[in-house]
Amino acid sequence: MSTRVTIERMGAGGDGIAATTAGSVYVPFSLPGEIANVALENGRATMMALLDASPERIDPACRHFEECGGCALQHWQDGAYQDWKRSLVQEALGGRGLQFKLDPLVPCAPQTRRRAVFAVRTSDHGAVLGFNRHQSHELIDITECAVTVPEIVSRLDDLREVVAVLGGGMKPFKLTVTATASGLDITASGCGAPDAAKRHALTNLVLKKGFARLSFEGEIVVEPRKPLVHFGKVPVYLPPGGFLQATVEAEETMAALVAAHLAKAKKSIDLFCGSGTFAFRIAEKSSVHAVESDQMAIDALDRGARHVQGLKPVSVERRDLFRRPFLARELAPFTGLVFDPPRAGAEAQAIEIAKSNVPKVAAVSCNPVTLGRDLSILVKGGYKIDRVVPIDQFLWSSHVEAVALLSKK
């Protein structure tokens, strides 16, 4: 039995929201103002028939849209989609009562995502590689992807050969593929450690296909070439599974904002630094202390700093900033600070930054909700938000990056 609904607005997760006698329901792949017949189940709806389409509805860029679950919003006109994505930052921060200037959204082009996390498995008909259907564990095999760089998409069949050798039975596992300057970096997880025979076969396959590296759960199986990325002027060998911003363009935009904001700092600190995304750009103008909990990331950053001339001093420290944040008194020597935590944000660290007198702070986040919480802490501690820049590096999804620039006199 179907129910007729009118989509009133878009939810933060990218689904349309409609009001019914049973309460609000979420309708995937719908748009505001549309009228549809839907099948309801536990507050969610499946569109059975679109009765009145929005004038903002467009043809999707990918044949797998609505099927593979990788994208949620390919059917929405760019302008309306970008306004909505910007509003996610506006509402998350404005809901905290924060005063700030919100820049226009920095857009994301198709085919620029340099890392893809594929769901994969073997089957009676060969290897399956793709994404899970929306709100489902069903794995959809793909032949194209409108958001991922061509260097990865053009190698889907070669990647299926890797899946076939890894095996793992019918149980799904993950294959994370990153495009680097040295070739594709491939990391498998959830399929069980390969035995000696599989390692031999995988080594031959990686060499034959010209991949840069294959690793399993952080352990390198074969590495013909070290995967190379550039952070500003510095070449860095990416550790297995190492964090990397989703697109080069978004990374460069964020790094330019951070570097300009901290340009007059004599000594800066980069918290949750990864392998040097911001640290190396900052080091072109000032000394920087880079802090990260992941040892391999810190080692990669340290190696990069040691082999490049022309930078200001770069020091590194391994430290779990969730368990042991930098205290306000430890921040006293620094005149610039950037922090880029995981989606959970950096509440404990923000409390200590708020107590400090670091004049310039840049906060980078992929989660507007936790960013709003952390900025509220900083503002209560005397910081002023100079500017917030929303950046769309997660095209056609409900995720949005933001850079907040703050000052304290």
pLDDT tens-digit map of 296-323: 999 999 999 998 899 999 999 999 999 9
Question: For residue 24, what is the domain's CATH number?
Answer: 2.40.50.140
Instruction: State pLDDT tens for residues 333-357.
Output: 999 999 999 999 999 999 999 999 9
Arithmetic mean of pLDDT, 209-220: 95
Q: Are residues 308 and 216 part of one domain? A: no
pLDDT band at residue 22 using 50, 70 and 90 as cut-offs: confident
Residue identified by tokens 């990647």 is 159
Instruction: State pLDDT tens for residues 120-149.
Output: 999 888 899 999 998 888 999 999 999 999
- Confirm whether residue 272 is marked as ligand binding: yes
Is this structure's pTM higher than 0.85? Answer: yes
Residue type, 329: R
pLDDT band at residue 52 using 50, 70 and 90 as cut-offs: very high
Under a CB-based contact definition with an 8 Å cutoff, are residues 315 and 365 in contact?
Answer: no
Torsion, Cα of 35, 37, 43, 44 (10° steps): -90
Arithmetic mean of pLDDT, 21-25: 86
Task: Give the model's pLDDT for residue 41.
Answer: 82
Q: Are residues 134 and 21 part of one domain? A: no
202 part of a folded domain: yes
| Tokens (6 digits) for 91 | 């509402």
CA–CA distance, 41 with 16 (Å, rounded to integer)? 15
Torsion, Cα of 334, 340, 341, 346 (10° steps): 50
Task: Give the model's pLDDT for residue 2.
Answer: 83
| Helical axes 78-94 vs 368-380, angle rounded to 10° | 40
| Tokens (6 digits) for 110 | 């198709």
| Tokens (6 digits) for 405 | 């620039």
Instruction: State pLDDT tens for residues 73-98.
Output: 999 999 999 999 999 999 999 999 99
| Tokens (6 digits) for 344 | 């959970």
Residue 150 clears pLDDT 70, i.e. is over it: yes
Task: Give the model's pLDDT for residue 184.
Answer: 98
Mark residue 201 as left, alpha or beta (left: phi above 0; alpha: psi -120 to 50; beta: remaining): alpha
Q: Are residues 255 and 221 part of one domain? A: no
CA–CA distance, 390 with 103 (Å, rounded to integer)? 7
Residue 204 clears pLDDT 90, i.e. is over it: yes
Q: Which residues of 139-154 are buried (b: 16+ CB within 10 A; e: fewer)?
A: bbbbeebbbbbeebbe
Arithmetic mean of pLDDT, 187-198: 91
Cα dihedral 60, 61, 67, 69 sign: negative
Number of domains in the chain: 3
Of 71, 145, 191, 366, the catalytic one is: 366
Question: For residue 403, what is the domain's CATH number?
Answer: 3.40.50.150
238 part of a folded domain: no
pLDDT band at residue 168 using 50, 70 and 90 as cut-offs: low
Task: Give the model's pLDDT for residue 407.
Answer: 98
Task: Give the model's pLDDT for residue 361.
Answer: 98
Residues 6+ apart with CB under 8 A from 331: 269, 337, 352, 353, 356, 358
Question: For residue 203, what is the domain's CATH number?
Answer: 2.40.50.1070
Q: Are residues 122 and 105 part of one domain? A: no
Instruction: State pLDDT tens for residues 246-304.
Output: 999 999 999 999 999 999 999 999 999 999 999 999 999 999 999 999 999 999 999 99
Q: Are residues 27 and 143 part of one domain? A: no
Residue 179 clears pLDDT 80, i.e. is over it: yes
Q: Are residues 191 and 206 part of one domain? A: yes
Q: Are residues 119 and 96 part of one domain? A: no
Q: What percent of the chain has pLDDT over 70?
A: 99
Q: Is 366 a catalytic residue?
A: yes
Quick check: helix, strand or coil at residue 58?
A: coil
Pick from 115, 14, 13, 133: nearest CA to 70: 133
Instruction: State pLDDT tens for residues 353-403.
Output: 999 999 999 999 999 999 999 999 999 999 999 999 999 999 999 999 999
Under a CB-based contact definition with an 8 Å cutoff, are residues 275 and 236 in contact?
Answer: yes
Task: Give the model's pLDDT for residue 124.
Answer: 80
- Confirm whether residue 352 is marked as ligand binding: no
CA–CA distance, 159 with 153 (Å, rounded to integer)? 10
Task: Give the model's pLDDT for residue 1.
Answer: 66
Task: Give the model's pLDDT for residue 135.
Answer: 81
Quick check: helix, strand or coil at residue 117?
A: strand
Quote the mean pLDDT of the chain: 95
Domain that holds residue 311: 82-109+244-407
Arithmetic mean of pLDDT, 321-336: 98
In 80-160, where do the E strands start and end?
Answer: 115-123, 126-132, 139-141
DSSP 374-400: HHHHHHHTT-EEEEEEEE--STTSS--
Instruction: State pLDDT tens for residues 100-125.
Output: 999 999 999 999 999 999 999 998 88
Under a CB-based contact definition with an 8 Å cutoff, are residues 351 and 65 in contact?
Answer: no
Q: Are residues 96 and 134 part of one domain? A: no
Arithmetic mean of pLDDT, 41-64: 92
Residue 25 clears pLDDT 70, i.e. is over it: yes
Pick from 3, 6, 4: nearest CA to 30: 6
CA–CA distance, 338 with 257 (Å, rounded to integer)? 11
Give the CA count within 13 Å in the CB-facing half-sphere of 9: 10
- Confirm whether residue 295 is marked as ligand binding: no
Q: Are residues 157 and 94 part of one domain? A: no
Q: Are residues 139 and 102 part of one domain? A: no
Under a CB-based contact definition with an 8 Å cutoff, are residues 63 and 134 in contact?
Answer: no
